[in-house]
Amino acid sequence: MKTIILFSFFISFLSCKAQTLPLNTALNDTPANSFKKDLGNELPSYAGVYKAIFNGKEITLYITKVENVLQKSSRKNYYSDVLDIQYIVKNPTGVILQDTKNNSNSQIKLYSIKTRPDINSIIFFYSGTNCRVGWGEVVLKKINSTQISWEYRPNDIILDDSKCPPSTDINIYLPETKDLIFTKQ
């Protein structure tokens, strides 16, 4: 009898699904191991390939929706649908300055952390380039079906040789600006 009860408990435990919540549920209201799902279908309208020119450099964004991504915070882990941005930055002569699209070893991450439907925007976390230089937020605002506005808000970081080797490329290639218009290709 005890074996049957334990087996039943084990089966019911396996069949339980994580709690599904709306995408914009606050972290304080997000139980550990829950799933923040794009129930309002807000993310797909941003997906696609976008281009802009800034200070002579061509920036191409590759935005894709990724479902059920593990999010780790200092307080808890949960899952969420996100937009992931990979990008290529070229100088005026076409030389690639930075490429997170075709570099599978890239530690540079740019993914959505919050939607703001009230202002038609999505906020992204940017891990920064090498040694976390330039980490911060990027805000994309939907202007129409083919254009988005870009705002990059970098944070400061103090570097020394113990945190970042002297020969490391610590240039920030993403456009540090507000209201840059990207056009869907």
Q: pLDDT tens for residues 137-176? A: 999 999 999 999 999 999 977 777 777 888 888 889 999 9
State the residue range of the domain holding 70: 19-184
When divided into structural domains, the chain yields a total of 1
Q: What's the DSSP call for residue 45?
A: G
| DSSP-derived 3-state class of residue 87 | strand
119: amino acid identity, one letter: I
pLDDT at residue 8 in the model: 46
| DSSP-derived 3-state class of residue 2 | helix
- 177 in a structural domain: yes
- 160 in a structural domain: yes
* pLDDT confidence bin for 15, thresholds 50/70/90: very low
- 141 in a structural domain: yes
- 123 in a structural domain: yes
- 85 in a structural domain: yes
- 102 in a structural domain: yes
The pTM for the full model equals 0.85
pLDDT in tens, 46-83: 999 999 999 999 999 999 999 999 998 888 999 999 99
- 4 in a structural domain: no
Rounded Cα–Cα distance for residues 130 and 6 (Å): 51
